[in-house]
Structure 1
Amino acid sequence: MKDIDRISTVDIEDCVSSKRLYHSDQYHVVSEDEKDRVQKQLLGWYQSEKRTNMPWRKDNEKTWDKQTLGQRAYEVWVSEIMLQQTQVATVIDYYNRWMAAFPTIQDLANADIEKVNTLWAGLGYYSRAKRLWEGAQKVVNQLGGLLPDNAKDLQSEIPGVGRYTAGAVASIVFGETTPVVDGNVIRVIARWRAIHADPKKAKSVELFWDIAASLVPESNPGDFNQAMMELGARICTPQNPDCDKCPISNECKALNQLKCAKELSKNGFFDEKKKKRKTVDSEHDCSVCQELPDDLDEAAYAVTRYPLKVDKKPPRDEECAVTIVERIVSKESKPLYLISKRPNTGLLAGLWEFPSLELDSLDTDYKERLSKSTQFLKTKYQLELDQPTRHDLGSVVHLFSHIRKVYHIEWIQYQHDQDLMDVDEAQVKWVTLEELKASPIPTGLKKALKLLEKFKTTTPTPLKKKVVVKKTMKTADISSFFMKKD
């Protein structure tokens, strides 16, 4: 079989034929020459082009002692967890605030989970914050205050640290020759080696990890891994790759196929091919890649066809009735808002929210939600309203990775000088607007608060009604929840 990466003019038609695209597993194996060229080209590009505005990115010093390396491991660990599913530009501010609040792993371990969630609020995927906190506690209480210095132990010992994060910390901080594979690296390898396979399938995943492992040099493994990730993030992007700026474009099988297709298109090759619609006997023995049809045109040879696009499972629809309860104590005092703490497990675990009732059915109308919310407030919060002033503020939509959540927002405002009664004071709080904005509430409910603020600026002040409550036990003000204990 001719070398597809060193193709001549006479080979161009063969390059994009079905026979050429069919191959064995050996097609994806990286030769020593290819490995040497890619290492040299990528490391050279990274040294001159790497982003320097990332506060967690530092050059390691050979003179660093064990404690300094441990601190660097903590910093890289935090940054890698934050960067999961989140853009660098967003993470920078969160990282700086986090390190100001928890400069060492001991500070994080000693922190209250409420403060951890407050600093994470708005970054999404809140379980990441809890795992960082739990991991820090284990390191301090069981591992002598230092993260493990190798990928194997990082993955097995630290909660929430998977194969990727373990490889990143171990290679960047401790110089271990171990790979990292994230979405950016998968995209780079898939195009470089023309891997037309579902990147989520187990066999594909192992192939990407095997290729990545074969590339990592013994010297500067951290820089090489960061170069691979940076190449995918900045140059080899999902939709508009800038192949002219890619340091390994001469090695890229996907780009070579595109160049061949363009040459053939000039001579009308694809027009003739469509007329003939020949079926070509294949020699496709690759156990990973999916076969390509024989009747492709030039557009089908875009670099972006790698990695294989797979249909995502659509997020399920859920609806929730949210009640913003505002209490006026006196003319001189600030309004207070009722918030409730979510369970410690599941979606948005441990965060605060307005009273929220999950709806069993979709497309509910306001009258139906009104009835259910009234019963919900009475049952859970012992709040019985006597002909209250209530406003339907509309709905907001928030997308989670697997859920499309519709929040139907209602506002109740009333005047009363007593707190809620007969509820767990650790789970229910009255807060001012300032305390509310500073507390860890989900992004979806921040949208609800914006709806209320917009409504108040465009609607006359409604009449404030009295409320009927049972007198048993007062709730605490949330500010006391954040006060330092003696």
Structure 2
Amino acid sequence: MRRSTRLVRQSSETFSSRSPVKSESPEEPTESIPKIRKKGITSASNSDAYESSTDQEIKPTTKKRKTSHPAKRSNGNAAALSHLFADGLVSPNSPLPCTLPRRQHSLTYHRPLLLDQATGRASLLTWFDSVTETRGMPWRKPWIDPASVSSPAELRSMLKRRAYEVWISEIMLQQTRVAVVIDYWNRWMAKWPTIHELAAADPEDVLAMWRGLGYYSRATRIHEAAKLVCGDPSLQGLLPQDVVELERKVPGVGRYTAGAISAIVFGRAAPMVDGNVLRVLSRQLGVLGDVKADKKVIDALWAAADALVKAVAKDVGESDEGGDFQESNRPGRWGQALMELGSTVCTPKPNCGTCPITATCRAYAEGLEFSSKKGMPTEDSCIVDIEDSCSLCKSYEEHAVQDEEDEKIVAKLSSKKSSAGGNKKQASLQSFFFAQSQSKKPNKKATSSSEPDATVLEVIVNHARKFPVKVIKKAVREEETIVCAIRRKGDSQFLIQRRPEKGLLAGLWEFPSYILPDTNDSTAKARKGEAAKFVKGLLESEKGLKHVGELGSVPWLFSHLRLTMHVHLFELDDRGNSGAPSNGAMGRKSRWSGDVDAESMGTGMRKCWTLVKESTE
């Protein structure tokens, strides 16, 4: 007898297939060989067919056991997602919203309602068109329709510049707010309007231009990539159109940036999934999972995004014989719409009252169901085989952590109930759920089609913000460093060192610095001794080197590190001592600088320089 559990019936039988369409695996996106629908325009992707494959780790088997293997489970999950998001499936009766707190449902619950509702897709695009210029992003420009440009050479030139603009904007926007990026992007484009001019730039100038954006290795990779793209005889400065080719040939370009360039610039049906989009899709699909670390959840949301952008592209035309959809502005608008929605409306604490696609949002529907029903389905509702239950979602009871917002919601709902003759107080969200389950009379006044009042909307928002699962952040590591500014008396120049080309603040210049051991007692006297020992190895001779004092401490916070920099000033009497840097000085390039302000330094080190300047002027 098959084991079963009492679940709300939402199995795969809900969907019926109109045509057996084979869908691509989310772990193995299939991109067609790129092409521009104009004669005379080529790129590497025109001449080189590239076929992607999925590398699988094969682990040695020591003993056969009657248990499921990870590879088989992974393949099974990919197949299930492929079927779930396949074109040709219809949902005549969409599964009802999950009832809280158990949220029991099958995998088919997560088929995007947007996938089967063209009106919902149109609503999001219409909303995006109305707000696209609100934040004044200079890189947002009309799509270049190849059919509107008669000259192949002119079209190539236009696409080359447009792809470059989008590429730079997407890299800058990683981990950086739009308001900050706008000024950096404008200054970058004013200095290097084309990818060829960037390729010819001095590396120091590129790092200097990037100063303040952080993650400096991005600037180095951009510069290296520009030189590669311009030097490639088949590309000649034009970024590839195809996602796979972009990832393969352009250093620093991952699947998100590749999707953005392919969709926005070339009109390809490629998914664009950043952190904002993962949050939007988590709520739209009702996936209560970890979108940062759970590969199964991430793959599912990417697969959903891929299916959605193809549906959007198909809304204006069928695919050709090769499976390619006709290029248009729709994929780019769609991807940017999802990102804009996640950035401005569907934020960590969403503004559901202004969202254009609440009709297709699972999280919204669940919140509405919770707020508008006093009773829940009885225990005998229906039964679903345990094999059909969802494997993506975390337990709501374990992972939807109760906080102050929950307590406020419970108080308001309890107040409403008490005014109707119910209990005057509910101790917690869980006790409120329990109280709900005891009543079997639904609230007939509230319907899903009516506009929610303020209290109901607050309940919906509070429920939606639980998606995706909040991950407890790791404690930020703390570190102390000694920063030694050595000033040469004769010409007032300072000794600087270049950081390694990989790692934190890669390739930037700094005053020689030394990480204090965790066991240090961090007293001024101890730090002075550590600084004195450290500088002895920086110069070929320590003759005439004098410790002036500790100027102060500069705290600086990175995403993974809380750094305290103790700044020490030394002076070198260069009479009889040239101050030649030691060849073995930490294996780094060292030199004297007479214009520290012009050097490519991180923002934290620049604050150290401010202390030094104030003490030496």
TM-score scaled to structure 1, two decimals? Answer: 0.81
**Match of residue 205, structure 1, among 272, 289, 298:** 298
Match of 1:337 in 2: 494
1:252 aligned onto 2:346:
no
1:6 to partner: Cα distance: 13
1:230 aligned onto 2:340:
yes
Q: Is the 8 A contact 2:106 2:390 kept in 1?
A: yes
CA distance in 2, matches of 1:307, 1:455: 50
Q: SS at the partner of 2:287? A: coil
1:165 to partner: Cα distance: 0.3
1:2 to partner: Cα distance: 7.9
Correspondence 1:181-220 to 2 at 5 A: 181-199=273-291, 200-216=293-309, 217-218=312-313, 219=328, 220=330
- The structure-2 alpha-carbon separation of the partners of 1:313 and 1:33, relative to structure 1 and needing over 3 Å to count, comes to closer
1:394 aligned onto 2:476:
no
Q: SS at the partner of 1:388? A: strand
CA distance in 1, matches of 2:92, 2:597: 60
1:257 to partner: Cα distance: 2.0
- The structure-2 alpha-carbon separation of the partners of 1:188 and 1:146, relative to structure 1 and needing over 3 Å to count, comes to same
1:451 to partner: Cα distance: 3.4
Match of 2:100 in 1: 17
1:106 to partner: Cα distance: 1.1
CA distance in 1, matches of 2:609, 2:478: 22
1:367 to partner: Cα distance: 2.2
CA distance in 1, matches of 2:335, 2:114: 18
CA distance in 2, matches of 1:329, 1:380: 18
CA distance in 2, matches of 1:39, 1:245: 16
Correspondence 1:359-378 to 2 at 5 A: 359-361=516-518, 363-378=521-536
Q: SS at the partner of 1:384? A: coil
Deviations 1:384-406 (A, max 9, x none): 26583522223222222222222
> Which ranges of structure 2 fall in alignment gaps of 5 or more residues?
1-7, 11-90, 150-154, 314-327, 377-382, 399-428, 434-458
1:416 to partner: Cα distance: 4.5
1:50 aligned onto 2:212:
no
Match of 2:253 in 1: 161
**Match of residue 604, structure 2, among 432, 441, 444:** 444
Q: Is the 8 A contact 1:351 1:440 kept in 2?
A: yes
CA distance in 1, matches of 2:363, 2:534: 58
Q: SS at the partner of 1:230? A: helix
**Match of residue 61, structure 1, among 131, 144, 153:** 144
Q: SS at the partner of 2:206? A: helix
Correspondence 1:448-463 to 2 at 5 A: 448-453=608-613
- The structure-2 alpha-carbon separation of the partners of 1:2 and 1:49, relative to structure 1 and needing over 3 Å to count, comes to farther
Q: SS at the partner of 2:538? A: helix
CA distance in 2, matches of 1:254, 1:396: 44
CA distance in 2, matches of 1:35, 1:358: 57
1:429 aligned onto 2:429:
no
Correspondence 1:238-387 to 2 at 5 A: 238=348, 240-264=349-373, 285-293=389-397, 296=430, 297=432, 302-329=463-490, 335-361=492-518, 363-382=521-540, 384=542
Number of aligned residue pairs: give it.
433
Match of 2:211 in 1: 121
- The structure-2 alpha-carbon separation of the partners of 1:33 and 1:406, relative to structure 1 and needing over 3 Å to count, comes to closer
1:408 aligned onto 2:501:
no
CA distance in 2, matches of 1:231, 1:385: 63
CA distance in 2, matches of 1:345, 1:226: 32
Name the amino acid aligned to 2:335: N
- The structure-2 alpha-carbon separation of the partners of 1:101 and 1:326, relative to structure 1 and needing over 3 Å to count, comes to same
- The structure-2 alpha-carbon separation of the partners of 1:383 and 1:397, relative to structure 1 and needing over 3 Å to count, comes to farther
Deviations 1:248-288 (A, max 9, x none): 12222212222233335xx6x79xxxxxxxxx999681111
Name the amino acid aligned to 2:579: L
- The structure-2 alpha-carbon separation of the partners of 1:416 and 1:305, relative to structure 1 and needing over 3 Å to count, comes to same
**Match of residue 420, structure 1, among 565, 568, 579:** 579
Q: Is the 8 A contact 1:389 1:414 kept in 2?
A: no
CA distance in 1, matches of 2:351, 2:289: 22
Name the amino acid aligned to 2:606: K
Q: SS at the partner of 1:420? A: coil
CA distance in 1, matches of 2:202, 2:254: 25
Correspondence 1:468-479 to 2 at 5 A: none
CA distance in 1, matches of 2:142, 2:163: 13
Q: Is the 8 A contact 1:18 1:282 kept in 2?
A: no
Correspondence 1:76-115 to 2 at 5 A: 76-115=166-205
CA distance in 2, matches of 1:287, 1:38: 27
Q: Is the 8 A contact 2:195 2:226 kept in 1?
A: yes
Q: Is the 8 A contact 1:377 1:383 kept in 2?
A: no
1:100 to partner: Cα distance: 1.8
Greater mean alpha carbon deviation, residues 421-430 or residues 130-139: 421-430
CA distance in 2, matches of 1:282, 1:437: 68
CA distance in 2, matches of 1:281, 1:451: 68
Pick the structure with more helix per residue.
1
CA distance in 1, matches of 2:487, 2:350: 51
Q: SS at the partner of 2:396? A: coil
Name the amino acid aligned to 1:311: I
CA distance in 1, matches of 2:208, 2:533: 31
Q: SS at the partner of 2:356? A: coil
Q: Is the 8 A contact 1:151 1:170 kept in 2?
A: yes
Name the amino acid aligned to 1:351: L
1:61 to partner: Cα distance: 2.8
**Match of residue 41, structure 1, among 123, 146, 157:** 123
Name the amino acid aligned to 2:525: K
* Aligned-residue CA RMSD (Å): 3.2
Q: Is the 8 A contact 2:280 2:338 kept in 1?
A: yes
**Match of residue 139, structure 1, among 212, 224, 229:** 229
Deviations 1:59-92 (A, max 9, x none): 0232351221011101100110010000011111
CA distance in 1, matches of 2:242, 2:532: 55
| Identical aligned residues as a percent | 39
CA distance in 1, matches of 2:114, 2:496: 61
Greater mean alpha carbon deviation, residues 199-208 or residues 295-304: 295-304
CA distance in 1, matches of 2:390, 2:341: 27
Greater mean alpha carbon deviation, residues 74-83 or residues 308-317: 308-317
TM-score scaled to structure 2, two decimals? Answer: 0.65
- The structure-2 alpha-carbon separation of the partners of 1:419 and 1:41, relative to structure 1 and needing over 3 Å to count, comes to farther
- The structure-2 alpha-carbon separation of the partners of 1:42 and 1:281, relative to structure 1 and needing over 3 Å to count, comes to closer
CA distance in 2, matches of 1:32, 1:119: 42
1:323 to partner: Cα distance: 1.3
Match of 2:108 in 1: 26
CA distance in 2, matches of 1:211, 1:17: 25
